[in-house]
Amino acid sequence: MTATTDGSAGAVGPRAAAASTTNELRRGDDAASGIGGTAPPDASGLDGAAARAAERAAGHLLARQDPEGWWKGDLETNVTMDAEDLLLRQFLGILDAGTTHAAALHIRREQREDGAWATFYGGPGDLSATVEAYVALRLAGDAPEAPHMARASAWVRAGGGIASARVFTRIWLALFGWWRWEDLPELPPELLFLPKWFPLNIYDFGCWARQTIVPLTVVSAKRPVRPAPFPLDELHTDPDLPAPPRPLAPATGWDGLFQRLDKALHVYHRVAPRALRRTAMNQAARWIIERQENDGCWGGIQPPAVYSVIALHLLGYDLQHPVMRAGLESLDRFAVWREDGSRMIEACQSPVWDTCLAAIALADAGLAPDHPALVKAVDWMLDEEITRTGDWAVRRPGLPPGGWAFEFHNDNYPDIDDTAEVLLAFRRVRHPDPARLEAAVARGTRWTLGMQSKGGAWGAFDADNTSVLPNKLPFCDFGEVIDPPSADVTAHVVEMLAFEGLAQDPRTRRGIEWLLAAQEPNGAWFGRWGVNHVYGTGSVLPALTAAGLPVSHPAIRRSVRWLGSVQNQDGGWGEDLRSYHDEAWIGRGASTASQTAWALIALLAAGERDSEPVRRGVAWLAETQREDGSWDEPYFTGTGFPWDFSINYHLYRQVFPLTALGRYVYGEPSPGKVR
């Protein structure tokens, strides 16, 4: 991993030199090509400031393109990634002093003054994250009597101790005997025998949960315990007493029903036929190995990779086995090494997502459609197209492949959101091989349409992944485990279909109807994959107007009024992650570059270019831009799971402000102009 100072460099290979000087940004000569707009404004006043800010931002972004054509910013989450990486290495017996020291530097730096660790910048302390961070620092040699450790353990005890931590944290502790397996929910590997039509089969879970649950069924069956390197009595409220039993919910509800089912599964664990269990675990191993990616990872994300390595190790795969060796090597690629010697673990890497957003931003900010940087980006994205069938075909058998994933390597799980944005980026570039590009667009459009859910909307990875039962399992006490349709993904698809000339297609109209019905009473839309209503609204309005809804439409006017009502006094917009579970935070938070850009993108799509909120927002972006053309943004504005797992995409602060400024300066892109 290349060390970076602003998180905008890639993970593979050196950063590219500037692909172009910024004076190559132009629009006027491109009007005839179908991508042009009006000429840049005069250099005076707000319009001039916006144009200069866009030019600096474009230069900054161009300088960070990898020679292969992609962009990737750091994907920052929380210290549980770093702690679990150390715990995995301790479990496998491969923990080394250098890795431990570097991880500890990062974990210590993230500790709050009260001793806890949060899961996002400025957020409240989180009990499970604090427990895991504390254990990781104990592995690094930090003494429990040290002031920062004593504060942490006191904070954990005040929060209920280890017994109040989430299931996944207690699984990690059970691996070393710090928690009893008998006090964890049971997850039998026989789950894999359930047919695809049966409730609670593995395909009822979202792909990220499915990839984690399958290896964990092996871990749950094996119940391994490695020698603990130290006790953790200081994290229990009363270490001399067993964990108190959790009260049962009434048997008349789902929670009570599944709690009683879990008790029955614990009994089954003791009497499970050995041959049946052995067959189930072997099937789990085959399932895991079949889904290992070419780079050795699983699903392009760290948690399934970690649990898959543990499960296969428990089934007898030694660390030199090719599957294991490739898996461990892939985990090393999630590490970001900083200049101060610290080491941060990314939960995932986002090159496809970052590249398509960067291409859109640069094109909308005036970069020529045949500029080498854009052509190279499209070349790289064309090579990343997924042309083989994955788990998505369980719900859509017979649908030909043709999508894009989020990561460098994740051919089993293309996602609808990336595919829509990649196709939108393609339509902004004049590629020297139009036949190849058109063929890829046709396949991607066909696959996306085929992944529409019954209600007319789109989820992220699967169609009709809407069962409510997985979320009721005692095992699933952390984050979303299903993948229902969302407004932001549906909006990106509708926008893409409009650019493909399909605005009047019945499938597009069903998506529009779903979006209109999903609007919140206040005029906003909920943001599933970005924080939160500002993101949802910033996604939906461009889609609705691209699809032909007039800016006078009541739904659009309601959202415009809402955005104006939540604008901060400084002219920016922000929304705290606490808005996911506290309505008082909806649309409220410190101004950030990415969220200000989302609000501006929405307002510009709604025809509000000359309004006071837009002018104040553009002024805020211009005034807060750094000298190098970038913006600073410590706040987390992305989500893996709303509230439970938050993400700071380090490239968001660059691509979205550039997109907003470009559209303010040069006008809105539209299907007619881009074509």
- What pLDDT is recorded for position 231? 96
Backbone angles phi, psi at 35, to 5 degrees: -115, 0
Q: Coil, helix or strand for 140?
A: coil
User: Helix 351-364 crosses helix 372-383 at what angle (to 10 degrees)?
Assistant: 150
Confidence of residue 409 (pLDDT cuts 50, 70, 90): confident
Instruction: Give the amino acid at 22.
Output: T
Confidence of residue 672 (pLDDT cuts 50, 70, 90): low
d(CA 613, CA 387): 44
**pLDDT of 593-616, one tens digit each?**
999 999 999 999 999 999 999 999
- From residue 515, give the alpha-carbon distance in Å to each of 523, 531, 588: 12, 18, 23
404: pLDDT strictly greater than 70: yes
d(CA 639, CA 78): 12
**pLDDT of 226-267, one tens digit each?**
999 999 999 998 766 666 666 777 777 777 777 788 788 888
Q: Coil, helix or strand for 275?
A: helix
15: pLDDT strictly greater than 60: no
Give yes or no for a contact between 404 and 422, defined as CB atoms under 8 angstroms apart. yes
Q: How large is the average pLDDT for residues 310-320?
A: 96
**pLDDT of 85-128, one tens digit each?**
999 999 999 999 999 999 999 999 999 999 999 999 999 999 99
Residues known to be catalytic: 417
- For residue 125, give the DSSP letter: B
- From residue 450, give the alpha-carbon distance in Å to each of 41, 297, 326, 456, 493: 43, 27, 34, 11, 12
Residue 358 CB: number of other CB atoms within 10 A? 29
- Please give the biggest Cα pair distance in the chain: 80
Pairing type for strands 645-649 and 638-641 reads: antiparallel
**pLDDT of 259-299, one tens digit each?**
788 788 888 889 999 999 999 999 999 999 999 998 999 98
> What SS3 string covers 312-341?
HHHCCCCCCCHHHHHHHHHHHCCEEECCCC
d(CA 420, CA 427): 11
Give yes or no for a contact between 448 and 404, defined as CB atoms under 8 angstroms apart. no
d(CA 494, CA 184): 43
Distance from the first to the final alpha carbon of the chain: 38
Among 512, 514, 469, smallest CA distance to 494 is for: 512
Residue spans of beta strands (DSSP E) within 127-257: none
d(CA 244, CA 126): 21
Among 304, 334, 329, smallest CA distance to 319 is for: 329
Lowest mean pLDDT among 113-117, 170-174, 468-472, 533-537: 468-472
Residue with tokens 């209109």: 516
pTM for this one?
0.91
Beta-bridged to residue 337, according to DSSP, are 343
Among 230, 157, 220, 233, smallest CA distance to 183 is for: 220
Q: Which domains does the chain have, with CATH numbers?
A: 40-75+348-465+484-674 (1.50.10.20), 78-240+252-345 (1.50.10.20)
